[in-house]
Structure 1
Amino acid sequence: MSHSRSMATFSDIPLTYTVRRCKAEFVAPAKSTPREQKLLSDIDDQASLQFHVPFVHFYGHQPSMEGKHPAEVIRTALAQTLVLYYPFAGRLREGANGKLIVDCNGEGVLFIKADADVTLEQFGHALQPPFPCFDEFLFDVPGSEGILNCPLLLIQVTRLKCVGFIFALRLNHTMCDAAGLKQFVSSVAAMARGEATHLIPPVWERHLLDAEDPPRVTCTHHEYDEVEASLPLDKLVQRSFFFGPAQVSLLRKLLPLHLRQCTKFELLTAFLWRCRSLAINLDPQEEVRMLCAVNVRSKMEPPLPQGYYGNAFVFPAAITTVKNLCENPLGFAVELVKQAKTRVTEEYVKSVAALMVIRGKRLHFPNVIGSFFLSDLTKAGLEDVDFGWGKAVFTGTAKAVGTKSLFVQARNKKGEVGTSVAICLPAPAMERFAQELDKMLKQQPAEDNKSKSKRIYSAM
């Protein structure tokens, strides 16, 4: 057993606790699986997705599961699930021209069983990223975070003193997106509950998102433009901002009538992009861009089959100048976001895949401060995953990844369900960002220029 002691802060409540971890082990499929090699799609293996992303689920006490260690239940279920999802138990290799291939060798995924002398209640009632002590609940096993020849999943299950637990997972993003991860983890959960009779069969079929032969780039892809860095990306700080029903309602009132039926994601994306562009102090004539993840499962003809668990999204870009974005009403930004999403068709997806093939696998999204990446995880349904202890109290990514921000479902201190967005910025820009959020939420509604909006925004 290894012992580690940590000091952490959740919801401004300092915690001192001990985490006792068993040595990391490999969990292999419970039965023999095909020994083969599987190609990733041209969307999967692009350089911009070659990183690991951490997720965390918090679960409360469940009397019916008394006496059962969640790690042991989940470990058994994981081995059973890997019989169906056996590529996760393999390792990535690099083929010709940088093509990534899953060597389905059954080596297994990394798994850690742990216990912590802290209760879920001590973490507070408003769980949301970033989680400063997250490395205690998902130990970074040395040598495990590479892309090639490394485990594709790392899972740690930490039982709490209240007999709730924390399920934490690190995923090699080339293997799947949030929807695919939900499908996989839901299968583990169904196995854990002994209800595996109605599982959605996993579908590989990665060729469906490959470029045509010969590859043809038929659309413009500003999301992959080479952009000079405008500000250093080191020394970023992270902070989460919560948007409940009241904040969303107020923002809708800032829009003209014809835009008020926009989605919550479009509204919040436009709002955050505008505030962020004001906060980073760029030249008014400099271009800023917003890149939002768009699920393409229903964009293909025919739609991707149910059970497809690969990466099935693209990042269309909206581009304008700081001046245009910040001096126009909020509706201007909403229109740009909507237009970017509308451009995503089957042709657009195939064009992205072709760009990856023609330009090479090293083509990246512009990782600069003037580019704002957003992805909505609130529709993935990760909070519904039930290992037998009920639904999660919180589930989502453990932190933002560089300049990428993720929308997750969360509750505030009042218990209201809303959207939490983790933002990464240099410290001075973060302060200006919070101030801009507050200013915009005090603007007068579009239909009543004489009334004053009450300040109702709270960042936690």
Structure 2
Amino acid sequence: MLQPETSLKFVVRRRAPELIAPAAPTPRELNPLSDLDHQPELRCQLHGLQFYRSHPKMANKNPATVIRDALAKVLVYYYPFAGRLREAPTQKLMVDCTGEGVIQFLTAFGEMAQGASSPSVLPVWQRELLFASEPPRATFAHHEHDVEEKTKAINDIGTKDLIQKSFFFGPNEVSTLRRRFVPEHLQRCSTFEVIAACVWRCRTIALQFDPNEEMRFLFPFNARDKLNPRLPVGYYGNAFILPSVVSTAGDLSIKPLSHVLELVTKAKALVSEGYVRSTIDLMAIKGRPLLTVPRSYILSNVARLGFSEIDFGWGKAAYGGPATGGIDAIPGLFNFYMHWTNQKGESGVLNFTFHNLTS
């Protein structure tokens, strides 16, 4: 488990929120979102943090002013972000671009903070590229939507029973897992797949589910590379889906890690353009089906999204990414697989937020 490198104390004064409007007039229009945007699990807020070290060239600049001015400028191009969400009678969301008001947008945000007159990549809306087929057809099984229960927390465990801890999986740790548990025919699997299988199995054992209970592992998957034709450069809509793996608690607990790893790799390999289109069509057929939350676990891979690369003038972020590890939307449902560099310069990942089994 990672230990804090230093104890840092500083004072933060909370002030009233300030509305940042686009710096120039923007179109007044009603923009429909895609069917992929209508996944109900997206209707939540996730908090992020960006930390930057001081930089000589920014010594005389007020960070608040730099960020405020850059946000106003970039909203001229990304004006839907300055709009309001409206729900149609069909429960589908649209963006009402009223002008009152997030890695492509942040990159553009950083470029404007450094004096650019326009983003290097202009935004593309075109949500119609991910509309459902006519008529819609779900041609794959989507176990992530099998049971529609409005469960707010796994096993009724709330935030008071959750603890946040950071764990470092560097080259040595991952190499040990591969050497001890990964058979020859699975050696080409990714680090994410190895850690996902390990964490899902250990979590299931620790929570002591009934052996016959059906467990699910879900992982957000970027579908952009699976689409043909590809989405245009600059498209900034949602393009991820949530493939799932299903197994019983008994099999996860008793069978070796290699068995769980094979389940994960097969589920990932199953994702094709047809699977993506089937997911989109399912949203239209079932009318925004809810996620199967009970006995589910999500591990979200944000290691390569590039949050730490966002530069507002102070260089790369010392840390950029999620502020919490699964407490925001549905307590205990998910963790993040993240990039981190330790004091030795080794790259690893962090997973945090677990059930406190001692409470």
User: TM exceeds 0.5?
Assistant: yes
What is the CA-CA distance between 1:415 and the residue it aligns to?
A: 4.5
Secondary structure of 1:406's counterpart equals strand
| Letter aligned with residue 201 of structure 1 | L
Distance change in 2, residues 1:16/1:74 (3 Å): closer
Q: 1:41 aligns with which of 34, 44, 64?
A: 34
Worse overlay, 48-57 or 334-343: 334-343
| Letter aligned with residue 231 of structure 1 | N
Query: Would you say the 8 A contact 2:35–2:284 is kept in 1?
Result: yes
CA distance in 2, matches of 1:303, 1:267: 29
Q: Deviations over 1:112-151 (max 9, x none)?
A: xxxxxxxxxxxxxxxxxxxxxxxxxxxxxxxxxxxxxxxx
Structural mapping, 1:6-45, within 5 Å = 11=4, 17-45=10-38
CA distance in 1, matches of 2:358, 2:255: 21
Distance change in 2, residues 1:429/1:214 (3 Å): farther
Distance change in 2, residues 1:223/1:76 (3 Å): same
Distance change in 2, residues 1:51/1:429 (3 Å): farther
In the alignment, structure 1 residue 424 sits paired with structure 2 residue 349: no
Aligned to 2:165: 239
What is the CA-CA distance between 1:372 and the residue it aligns to?
A: 0.8
Q: Deviations over 1:344-374 (max 9, x none)?
A: 222222222222222123x221222x21111
Q: Deviations over 1:60-104 (max 9, x none)?
A: 010111111111111111111001100000000111210101000
Secondary structure of 2:47's counterpart equals strand
Secondary structure of 2:46's counterpart equals strand
Aligned to 2:317: 392
Query: Would you say the 8 A contact 2:162–2:353 is kept in 1?
Result: no
Distance change in 2, residues 1:261/1:284 (3 Å): same
Aligned to 1:71: 64
**TM-score of the pair, normalised by structure 1:** 0.72
Aligned to 2:279: 352
CA distance in 2, matches of 1:364, 1:288: 16
- Structure 1 unaligned segments of length 5 or more: list them: 1-9, 109-180, 431-460
Q: Deviations over 1:151-180 (max 9, x none)?
A: xxxxxxxxxxxxxxxxxxxxxxxxxxxxxx
CA distance in 2, matches of 1:196, 1:367: 45
CA distance in 2, matches of 1:16, 1:385: 25
Aligned to 1:451: none
CA distance in 1, matches of 2:148, 2:137: 23
In the alignment, structure 1 residue 314 sits paired with structure 2 residue 314: no
Aligned to 2:298: 373
Aligned to 2:334: 404
Secondary structure of 1:422's counterpart equals coil
Aligned to 1:135: none
CA distance in 2, matches of 1:12, 1:68: 29
Aligned to 2:136: 215
What is the CA-CA distance between 1:326 and the residue it aligns to?
A: 2.4
| Letter aligned with residue 156 of structure 2 | P
Higher normalized strand content (fraction of residues): 1
Distance change in 2, residues 1:319/1:14 (3 Å): same
| Letter aligned with residue 208 of structure 1 | L
Secondary structure of 2:48's counterpart equals strand
Aligned to 1:104: 97
Secondary structure of 1:37's counterpart equals strand
**TM-score of the pair, normalised by structure 2:** 0.91
CA distance in 1, matches of 2:118, 2:209: 56
CA distance in 2, matches of 1:196, 1:31: 13
CA distance in 1, matches of 2:42, 2:248: 27
Q: 2:290 aligns with which of 351, 354, 364?
A: 364
Aligned to 2:87: 94
| Letter aligned with residue 239 of structure 1 | K
| Letter aligned with residue 202 of structure 1 | P
In the alignment, structure 1 residue 199 sits paired with structure 2 residue 128: no
Query: Would you say the 8 A contact 2:148–2:291 is kept in 1?
Result: no
Query: Would you say the 8 A contact 1:385–1:391 is kept in 2?
Result: yes
CA distance in 2, matches of 1:98, 1:202: 26
Structural mapping, 1:244-393, within 5 Å = 244-253=170-179, 254-361=181-288, 363-368=289-294, 370-393=295-318
Query: Would you say the 8 A contact 1:85–1:202 is kept in 2?
Result: yes
What is the CA-CA distance between 1:379 and the residue it aligns to?
A: 1.2
| Letter aligned with residue 79 of structure 1 | A
What is the CA-CA distance between 1:236 and the residue it aligns to?
A: 2.7
Secondary structure of 1:239's counterpart equals coil
CA distance in 2, matches of 1:242, 1:421: 8
CA distance in 2, matches of 1:32, 1:274: 53
| Letter aligned with residue 292 of structure 2 | P
| Letter aligned with residue 215 of structure 1 | P
| Letter aligned with residue 428 of structure 1 | L
| Letter aligned with residue 242 of structure 1 | F
The number of residues matched between the two structures is 346
